[in-house]
Every structure is written in C-alpha cells, then in structure tokens.
Homo-oligomer: A and B are copies of this chain.
Amino acid sequence: MVDLVTFGETMLRLSPPGQERVETADQYDVHVAGAESNVAVAAQRLGLDSTWVSKLPDSPPGRKVATELRSHGVDTDVVWDDADTGRVGTYYLEQGDVPRGNDVIYDRSGASVTTATVDELPTGLLEETAAFHTSGITPALSERLEATTADLLAAADEAGATTSLDVNYRSKLWTPAEAAEVLTDLFPNVDVLLTAKRDAENLFGLSGPASEMAVELTDEYGFDVTVVTQGAEGAVAATPDEQFDRPAYEASDAHPVGSGDSFVGGFLSQYVEGAPIPRALSWGAATAALKRSVPGDIAVLSSDEVERVMQGDSTEIDR
C-alpha cells in the first residue's frame, strides 16, 4: 500500500540565473518541474509514501526527471518511451523584478507523456493507494491524455481511493471554456477539488467571496471538499456541511513557481492521513509559504520546518 499516487507531465525547466534573460544568458539552471510530481515530492517529504506515475523517454534528459524525484524519496513508476522518438517537455522560465515579472515559454508539445494510455500505465497501483491526484494540466496536453486522465480517475475512484484534482488552469494550453467542459466531465470521479479563486471565476463563472465559491462548487458537483486558494489572502474550504478559512503565512516573493503545488502537497499530507480540514489548510499554507524561499519548482523542506512556520517561530538565526 502507498499513500498517494500522482499522474502527470514533468518537464525540465530551463531558467537563466538571477534576472538574466533567455535571449542573452550563457547558462540555464535546470530544474525538474511538474505539477503532479511537485505534489508528490511535497507530500513525501511531509510524510506520505508517494509514487509518481508517468511516461518518459529512456534518454539522459528523461532519466534526469526520475533521478531527481527519487532523490526526494518519491517512487517513480515510469513507462519508458523510445529514446530517439520520445521527448521530455521543457519550459523556459525568465525571472524578473517589477515591472517585468516572470515569463514562461513552453516547449512541451509532443512529450512522451502525451501518448500515455491507461493500458500501458501501472494501474494496478490504484488498487493499493489511499489517494490519487492529478491536475487540470494533464487532460489539456493531448486528446489521448484527456481520455487517460478520465480513465485513471474512474479507476481510482472505483478502487476506493480518495481522488483529488487541482484545476491549475493554463491559458497557454486551452481556453477557459474548453477547460471547463473537460474538467466538469471529470468531476463525478473527483472527491477533492482544489482551485485558485481566479480559475473558479474564469472557468466556472463564479463570483463573490472565495468561501461562497467553495460552497457552490461543493454543492453543484458533490465534492467531499472544495478548497479555494487566494494567494496572500489565504485559502478557504467547504464540505457539504462546513466551511473553513485560513490565512496565508507571510512569505518572500523570491521563488513563487511551484508554491501552488506545494500547497496541494501540504494539504494532502494531512487530509489523506485523516487530519481535520483546518489543519490540512494550515499545512498547505505553511508549505506554500516555505516553498517561496526555495529555488526551483520543488519543495525541498521538512515537516519540522512546516511546523515551525505554523508556530510563528521567528526567522532569527538559531545557533
């Protein structure tokens, strides 16, 4: 038995050091980056026994993804694609202060994972896991993956796993209308929905305070719990019976990429273990806050650190 299985695409992120630009930099930092593997790493580091399932080319860049994830203790159950015809998706990340901001340039089309079928994936794992997680990015990547995502959620649901979906809308992959149509089709097999407030507005036409959105989504789609995150304003959740509200922790703006996934990983690390929702929300918020001080997409952190943030420990040097 494992605690958590996640499925999705993981890419190599190529980012010029500091505030350098892609056009003029001579070196790129390389990070392993994928919404669902980010969740798996955060959850694993916070105590869940996690496995990441995907498809990668059997080449050095492909193996790099698995090597990095394994280093954090995540099990990787990968279908190995042909080294010459497959590819790992990449993305370029430019980081810049105000008013430039961060810029993402995807080069992910045709990645091996976009051809993954439910038949070749290790679906047996779904029988042995407490929870299954994916994000709205996955079905957006190819028609094949749209079907595969649906099949996996159905199989996990059927097997009794807690299923969770992070909406994670990506405007460079599809329109809000396309996303809404595909995702709502998946909702019957989803137990836990997580969404940014902004996505709830754009995709599902909701408005008003986040707490109302959470209630509406829970009511309309019958989720066990809906979590709506709103950045520095914290996160709310609604079950069929209750509502919860937790503030965000103060955090740097240095490394925001991946903090949303860290929230999910932190939340699931508690929720899957049966912790009360307010506690799960706090773990999500503290994990996300910590991530913002860690370069790369991945939450290199520990339970101790998360607890220290929740206790409001000062950041003075302890020596």
Residues of A within 8 A of B (CB): 14, 17-30, 59-61, 63-64, 67-68, 70-73, 83-84, 87-88, 90, 92, 94, 96-107, 109-110, 170-172, 249-252, 254-257, 286, 289-290, 292-295, 300-301, 305, 309, 314-319
7 shortest A-B CB distances, which residue pairs? A101-B315, A97-B252, A71-B71, A22-B60, A104-B319, A100-B293, A96-B293
A198, closest chain B residue (CB): B316
Is A309 a contact partner of B60 (Cβ separation < 8 A)? no
Shortest beta-carbon distance from A58 to chain B in Å:
10
11 further interface pairs, Cβ-Cβ under 8 Å (given A23-B67, A100-B293): A18-B295, A23-B60, A60-B92, A60-B103, A61-B92, A71-B71, A97-B292, A98-B252, A98-B315, A100-B305, A101-B314
Question: CA separation between A19 and B101, bound complex, in Å?
Answer: 19
Shortest beta-carbon distance from A104 to chain B in Å:
4
Contacts A19-B294, A109-B87, A295-B19; A250 near B98 (Cβ below 8 A): yes
Question: CA separation between A295 and B29, bound complex, in Å?
Answer: 17
Question: CA separation between A99 and B285, bound complex, in Å?
Answer: 11
Shortest beta-carbon distance from A197 to chain B in Å:
13
Report the copy number of this chain in the oligomer: 6
Contacts A28-B30, A61-B92, A104-B319; A293 near B249 (Cβ below 8 A): no
A64, closest chain B residue (CB): B23
When the two chains form the complex, which single residue of B26, B286, B295 contacts A30, counting CB atoms closer than 8 Å?
B26
Question: CA separation between A289 and B100, bound complex, in Å?
Answer: 8
Is A104 a contact partner of B318 (Cβ separation < 8 A)? yes
Question: CA separation between A317 and B317, bound complex, in Å?
Answer: 32
Listed residue (A24, A70, A101, A294) with the most chain B CB atoms within 10 angstroms of its CB: A24
Question: CA separation between A305 and B102, bound complex, in Å?
Answer: 12
When the two chains form the complex, which single residue of B17, B90, B99, B170 contacts A319, counting CB atoms closer than 8 Å?
B170
Shortest beta-carbon distance from A231 to chain B in Å:
9
Is A105 a contact partner of B28 (Cβ separation < 8 A)? no
Shortest beta-carbon distance from A103 to chain B in Å:
7
Is B27 a contact partner of A30 (Cβ separation < 8 A)? yes
Give me 15 A-to-B residue pairs in the complex whose CB atoms sit less than 8 angstroms apart, sorted by A's number: A19-B293, A19-B294, A23-B61, A23-B63, A25-B30, A27-B27, A27-B29, A70-B70, A96-B315, A97-B252, A97-B254, A99-B290, A100-B293, A100-B301, A103-B318
Contacts A295-B18, A318-B104; A300 near B23 (Cβ below 8 A): yes
Question: CA separation between A292 and B98, bound complex, in Å?
Answer: 8
Question: CA separation between A200 and B276, bound complex, in Å?
Answer: 42
Question: CA separation between A317 and B129, bound complex, in Å?
Answer: 34
Is A250 a contact partner of B294 (Cβ separation < 8 A)? no
Shortest beta-carbon distance from A252 to chain B in Å:
3
